Amino acid sequence: MIDPYYLQQLVIGLSLGMTYALMAIGFTLIFGVLNVVNFAHGEVYTIGAFASLVLITAVAPPFVAVVVFALAIGALAGFSLERIAFKPFRRFTDEASLKSRAMREATLLSSLAVSIIAREAIELLFGSQQQAVPFEYLINQPIHLGPVIIVTGDLIIFGISALMLIGLQFLLTRTHVGLSIRAVSNNPLGARYVGINVDRTIIMTFVIGGMMGAAAGILVGLYYGVIFPAMGFIPGVKAFVAMVMGGLSSIPGAVICAIILGLSESVAVTFISSGWADMVAYGFLIVTLIFFPQGLFGARRERV
């Protein structure tokens, strides 16, 4: 008979993994269309949490409204981020410039700059300490499932993340916006020949990534009751690891690896100690880079 405690840890690991997955999707989508890593992605997570907290303290809306608000803020943050940190470096759209390393490195630094500015701005506005989250909004009421005790947050995070993943799958395979995103990832030049508005598609990619990141931020914030300016950093690193493990541009790969990461961390906490959780992610990253340089799910990427 398995000790219910372990099952509980697995449930926690699963919901943790789902939030990493939401973050990792943003990384993966953006890497797909632009071939760059968006270093400000962690800040979208923080902004989602802070903006929602402001809303909660100001008008105390129902929980669903908080999530919808976080999604809207995430969309806005993604849009602004693209305009501020990425668009200015995309003045030249010919093939050579799209593939040039200088362009990529420039946006790498500009997104890092935006990330630092955003974090410091939040710290100036709210202070660096943890914010008080109103008790009634915490999603940690226990639920007894036989001998296993989980909290409402596990279910809520799992449910919302699953809905968003299904929504994303629908978007990417059934809608014109989604097909355009995949087309630009697959062949940016071909996308222009079929009349896809590449600029708008890139914005949509950031909007979708921003929505998922901000939702993850507020869900985790309310789950642990911990919201502070640097909260986006660690999940950002974890999501980045999931993306690399998944093979950089594979969404299913990133999601599966994010869940594996969440589960392994929770196992590490159970059997070793909580200090080892972060080591698991970095360990996975090193092992992946050494033994699976293409990622666990990375198909060989085609470059024509």
Partner 1 sequence: MSLAEIKNLSVKMGIQEILHGVSLDVPKGSIVAVLGANGVGKTTLMRAISGVYRVTSGEILIEGQPITNMASHKIVERGVCQAPEGRQIFSNMSVRENLVLGGGSHGLAELDKVLALFPLLKERMGQGAGSLSGGEQQMLCIARALMAKPKLLLLDEPSLGLAPKLVALIFQLVARIREEGVSILIVEQNARAALKVADHAHVIDDGRIVLSGPSAELQTDPRIVEAYLGGHVA
186 binds partner 1 per the rule CB under 8 A: yes
How far lies 162's CA from each of 21, 104, 140, 249, 303, in Å?
Answer: 10, 32, 19, 20, 32
Question: Please, what is the minimum distance in Å from the beta carbon of residue 127 to partner 1?
Answer: 46
Q: Name which position in 198, 207, 259, 285 contacts partner 1 (CB under 8 A).
A: 198
Binding of partner 1 at residue 192 (CB under 8 A)?
A: yes
181 binds partner 1 per the rule CB under 8 A: no
Looking at beta carbons only, is 247 or 262 nearer to partner 1? 247
- Residue pair 206/65 in contact (Cβ under 8 Å)? The answer is no
- Kindly state the smallest distance separating residue 194's Cβ from partner 1, in Å: 5
Whether 180 and 196 have beta carbons less than 8 Å apart is answered as: yes
Burial class (CB in 10 A: 0-12, 13-18, 19+), 62: exposed
**Which among 298, 233, 292, 281 has a CA at the least distance from the CA of 31?**
298
Please say which residue, 94 or 136, places its beta carbon nearer to partner 1: 94
Structure tokens at 215: 């939702």
> Which residue's CB is nearer to partner 1, number 118 or number 183?
183
Nearer to partner 1, 52 or 180 (CB): 180
**Pick 62 or 195: Cβ nearer partner 1:** 195
The reply on whether position 136 binds partner 1 by CB under 8 A is no
What is the number of other CB atoms lying within 10 angstroms of the CB of residue 217? 33
Contacts with partner 1 by CB under 8 A: the residue count is 23
- Identity at 151, one-letter amino acid code: V
Alpha carbons 241 and 288: distance in angstroms, whole number: 9
Cβ proximity to partner 1, 100 vs 197, nearer residue? 197
Give the C-alpha separation, 49 to 227, whole Å.
7
Does the footprint of partner 1 cover residue 102 (CB under 8 A)? Answer: no
> Binding of partner 1 at residue 193 (CB under 8 A)?
yes
Q: Which is nearer to partner 1, 86 or 223 (CB)?
A: 86
Report how many helices (DSSP H) and strands (DSSP E) the chain contains, helices first: 12, 2
- Window contacting partner 1 (CB under 8 A); options: 15-23, 140-148, 190-198, 255-263: 190-198
Give the C-alpha separation, 265 to 278, whole Å: 7
* Least gap, CB of 260 to partner 1 (angstroms): 24
Q: Convert residues 257-286 into a mask of x (bound to partner 1 by CB under 8 A) and - (unbound).
A: ------------------------------
The closest alpha carbon to 134, from 73, 67, 216, 225, belongs to 225
Residue 304 interacting with partner 1 (CB under 8 A): yes
DSSP assignment, residue 144? Answer: E
Report in angstroms how near the CB of residue 96 gets to partner 1 at its nearest: 9
- Those residues with Cβ within 8 angstroms of residue 178's Cβ, 6 or more apart along the chain or in another chain: 170, 171, 172
Q: 183 or 277: whose CB is closer to partner 1?
A: 183
User: Which residues of the chain form contacts with partner 1 (CB under 8 A)?
Assistant: 94, 176, 179-180, 182-183, 185-187, 189-199, 299, 302, 304
